[in-house]
Structure 1
Amino acid sequence: MKYILILLLISSLIACDKNDDDSPQEPVSQLPPETTTGENTFGCLINGEPFVVRNTSNQVAIFQNGGLFIGGQLTSNGFLDNVNMFISESNIGAPIMENSIYQLNSDTIPKGEYFSERLNCRFNTSTNYSGSIEILKLDTVNYIISGKFHFQANSNSCTEIINVTEGRFDLQYIP
């Protein structure tokens, strides 16, 4: 009888193995890795919360006639959220090139933008709330654009300030 109790005790201890996968992950570790190979990834933190667009039909990169538009959108709990960036060679006064950083400091172009359907607010960069987009790779043969971004944005209709940080994208763009 004593041996049966010991076996039951050992069996129950083995069955109570702690699963480390249940512990919460750091928000940045939930973002896609920074790649430059056209993996079709888009992600950032919005006020510290992960925003990761896994569905490629909800990611966009268009580079045409000197203008660049990059964005991603998610639907969560029935509400749409999207993050977009716009830069234009005519507004920045130089060609858009690889290994370059561009300021997002306007509410027209160049700008960063966050829209929250739940809040019913559009948040834009401005001279007071700004950021940047860094183009790490611009492959005009294979139509790949990769980079990092961050920005702060405010809204005319909402009082909250949005902090978009740790942004990264690796997309095949539409020429």
Structure 2
Amino acid sequence: MKFTPFNLTKAMLLRPFAYSALLSLLALAACKDDDIPAPGLPEATQTGQNTGGAKVDGTVWLPIQQFLLAGKPLEARYAKSSTGNELNLYFGRFPIEQDDPFNETSINLHVPDIRTAGTVLFNQPADPRLTTSNPAYATFTYGKPSPDQVLITGPTATGKLVVTRLDTIARVVAGTYEFRAQALSGTGSVNVTEGRFDLKY
């Protein structure tokens, strides 16, 4: 190949790019999975960013939905019901990776009547299979192996929800939560800490 001034200039311009690309590829190849920082919890904001997360037995747990035609990974519902102004918060974790230790798990928070920001205690007996007459409660559910294993708050497994913003004009609900839940049947338990959410409803 004959180098004309144009070709020579072009080759000189491309060489740094080639070196840069080669160095990037080498750096990526040298990276190990454990060099990639683990995802952290989102900030505890109050602006309707549709974020949430918690720690489950000390491990960061983030809602995710990676399956087509499936529901939202996090959702807030606030509406009038037979018990008052009912608030329901849902967070689901359904990643594609089947070896995820929290695959097919979910967190639910239920408050039968709340009208302003404040603290709600999870310390009363409840049964999520009942559609009415339940006090405030929280659950952590393992969806597999089937059937679902539901762990719930109660007098011996307590917790709390702190609603820091309940804005019926902007339709934003935000806050923090923590709870311990026990299996409806059996002896299993789970500790959920540092929970936070900032959702539009």
Counterpart in the other structure of 1:85: 109
TM-superposed CA distance for 1:170, in Å, is 0.2
Counterpart in the other structure of 1:22: 35
Are the aligned partners of 2:76 and 2:200 in contact in 1 as well (CA < 8 Å)?
yes
Rounded to whole Å, the distance in 2 between the matches of 1:47 and 1:129 is 14
Match of 2:44 among 34, 41, 53: 34
Q: 1:165 to 1:154 in 2, by over 3 A?
A: same
The SS at the match of 2:72 is: helix
Q: Percentage identity across aligned positions?
A: 24
User: For this pair of structures, how many residues does the alignment match?
Assistant: 151
Summarize the alignment of residues 71-150 of structure 1 with structure 2, pairs less than 5 Å apart: 71-76=90-95, 77=98, 79-89=103-113, 95-98=114-117, 100-106=118-124, 107=126, 108-118=134-144, 120-150=148-178
The SS at the match of 1:158 is: coil
Listed as ranges, the gaps of 5+ residues in structure 1 are 1-14, 90-94
Rounded to whole Å, the distance in 2 between the matches of 1:156 and 1:53 is 23
TM-superposed CA distance for 1:23, in Å, is 6.2
Are the aligned partners of 1:137 and 1:144 in contact in 2 as well (CA < 8 Å)?
yes
Moved runs in structure 1, 4+ residues, more than 3 A?
none
Are the aligned partners of 1:41 and 1:54 in contact in 2 as well (CA < 8 Å)?
no
Amino acid at match of 2:195: G
Are the aligned partners of 1:42 and 1:54 in contact in 2 as well (CA < 8 Å)?
no
Are the aligned partners of 1:121 and 1:158 in contact in 2 as well (CA < 8 Å)?
no
Rounded to whole Å, the distance in 2 between the matches of 1:63 and 1:134 is 15
Listed as ranges, the gaps of 5+ residues in structure 2 are 1-25, 66-70, 127-133
TM-score with structure 2 setting the length = 0.66
Give yes or no for the alignment of 1:159 onto 2:190: no
Give the greater-gyration-radius structure (CA).
2
RMSD between aligned residues: 2.7
Are the aligned partners of 2:171 and 2:200 in contact in 1 as well (CA < 8 Å)?
yes
TM-score with structure 1 setting the length = 0.76
Counterpart in the other structure of 2:73: 58
Counterpart in the other structure of 1:169: 197
Rounded to whole Å, the distance in 2 between the matches of 1:47 and 1:38 is 27
